[in-house]
A = this chain, B = another copy of it.
Amino acid sequence: MPTPRRAALHRVPMRHPGDTAAIEHLITTGRLDPSGIVAILGKTEGNGCVNDFTRAYAVQSLTLMLARHMGVEAAARVALVMSGGTEGGLSPHFLVFTVEAGDAPNPAGALAIGTGFTRDFAPEEIGRPAQAEAVATAVHQAMEAAAITEVHYVQVKCPLLTTERIATAGASVATEDTYASMGLSRGASALGVALALGEVDAVLPEDIGRNWKRFSAVASASAGVELERCEVIVLGNSTAWSGDLAIAHAVMQDAIDLPAVHRAMRLAGLPAEDGQLAPAAAERLVAVLAKAEPSSTGRIRGQRHIMWDDSDINATRHARALVGGVIAGAVGRTDIFVSGGAEHQGPDGGGPVAVIARRALPV
């Protein structure tokens, strides 16, 4: 019988997108074994849109720092998923996921992590079924490798089209609007997750970016200019893993669905008082990951929102600020991973929310 694995998670702040000092401090003080790092998610303070270079800057900084401690080759195997945009009160931070040798498997299930990668895409594949299908394959590979049967969150980092890339395309691209390409790429990625998990049967060209009834309840995709393939991180619980962390999720039906956040907290064993995570349980909250997007209808519960009509602030920036506020109210902290652009990730205007927490000690 193989040694069970144990997943751990460090949440640390960054002072700017190139600041990896908090992670390095964990390494140099012996609290984080760099060889166990499988993925780092980062919430960086750019605009989260086309010209957000904070993601690439953070990736370059992390790669340099990891290479110093792990060597260049090992560092290159760590999945780095930067999501730009800390609007409202969101606080820039890194989530460092590690896998190490555990002791006894947790029969109640423990947090398990699997990762996968697609090939590089041609510009003309982005935002189309070919991308979704490659993502589905990568999700399956990640699940198998990690023996996950109960999936609660799938993070996909995907490419986008820039004016430069469009010019090199071998065939017509899904859109020539670089900003729109981010949505199509996220949407195709999410439908790839849905395909992998049986939430949809197939991904048709006309679904992507149009048919919002088709979505995954656990997908979270973010697009960045710094990569040409998709990177997949699957989070779930597994009885083959050890440790006291567990993950749960719920689906926000709209951007102000605070009860869904409460449901996810409750499923993760976290109690609330006066609407907010009870102070006594606050230290057991390890991470919150959620998606945000403006409803395509221009309304939230019947009231008009102005996200689509605001030509000064991108709609995704409004949405992250809003959902960040709803969730920060629920959990009482702002270093939560809310990423924008939730096309096919939860229902129109809503999105998945996942909570990772330490199980309460039996009294």
Could you list which residues of chain A lie within 8 angstroms of chain B, going by C-beta atoms?
13, 15-18, 45-47, 49-54, 56-57, 60-61, 64, 86-93, 162-164, 167, 177-180, 225, 255-256, 258-259, 261-263, 272-276, 297-298, 300-301, 303-314, 317-319, 321-326, 328-330, 332-335
A91 interface neighbour in B56, B177, B304, Cβ under 8 Å? B304
Bound: A16/B50 CA distance, A = 11
Bound: A93/B314 CA distance, A = 22
Contacts of A324 on B, CB cut-off 8 Å? 322, 325
A300 interface neighbour in B310, B322, B334, Cβ under 8 Å? B334
Interface contact A306-B86, CB-CB below 8 Å = yes
A313 interface neighbour in B54, B87, B276, B332, Cβ under 8 Å? B87
| CB-nearest residue of chain B to A275 | B275
A262 interface neighbour in B54, B274, B314, Cβ under 8 Å? B274
With A225-B16, A314-B311, A325-B323 in contact, do A333 and B301 touch (Cβ < 8 Å)?
Answer: yes
Least distance between A179 CB and chain B CB atoms (Å)? 6
Interface contact B60-A309, CB-CB below 8 Å = no
Bound: A323/B334 CA distance, A = 12
Least distance between A349 CB and chain B CB atoms (Å)? 10
With A53-B46, A164-B298, A276-B259 in contact, do A309 and B87 touch (Cβ < 8 Å)?
Answer: no
Contacts of A87 on B, CB cut-off 8 Å? 313, 318, 321
A325 interface neighbour in B86, B303, B329, Cβ under 8 Å? B329
Bound: A274/B276 CA distance, A = 10
Interface contact B18-A306, CB-CB below 8 Å = no
Contacts of A92 on B, CB cut-off 8 Å? 304, 306
Least distance between A33 CB and chain B CB atoms (Å)? 26
With A309-B163, A322-B328 in contact, do A275 and B261 touch (Cβ < 8 Å)?
Answer: yes
Number of copies of this kind of chain in the complex: 4
Bound: A116/B300 CA distance, A = 35
Bound: A326/B272 CA distance, A = 15
A47 interface neighbour in B17, B50, B311, Cβ under 8 Å? B311
Pick the most buried of A57, A60, A177, A335: most chain B CB atoms within 10 A of its CB: A57
Contacts of A88 on B, CB cut-off 8 Å? 88, 318-319, 321-322, 325
Contacts of A275 on B, CB cut-off 8 Å? 258-259, 261-262, 272, 275-276, 329-330
Bound: A338/B15 CA distance, A = 29
Least distance between A82 CB and chain B CB atoms (Å)? 12
Least distance between A362 CB and chain B CB atoms (Å)? 26
Least distance between A40 CB and chain B CB atoms (Å)? 17
Contacts of A274 on B, CB cut-off 8 Å? 258-259, 262-263
Contacts of A93 on B, CB cut-off 8 Å? 303
Interface contact A51-B306, CB-CB below 8 Å = yes
Contacts of A17 on B, CB cut-off 8 Å? 53, 56-57
Least distance between A355 CB and chain B CB atoms (Å)? 14
Contacts of A321 on B, CB cut-off 8 Å? 87-88, 318, 321-322, 325
24 A-B interface contacts by CB (under 8 A):
A13-B303, A18-B57, A45-B51, A46-B53, A47-B312, A57-B57, A64-B64, A87-B321, A88-B319, A88-B321, A89-B255, A89-B322, A91-B303, A163-B298, A164-B298, A177-B180, A256-B329, A256-B332, A258-B330, A259-B274, A275-B330, A312-B314, A325-B326, A325-B328
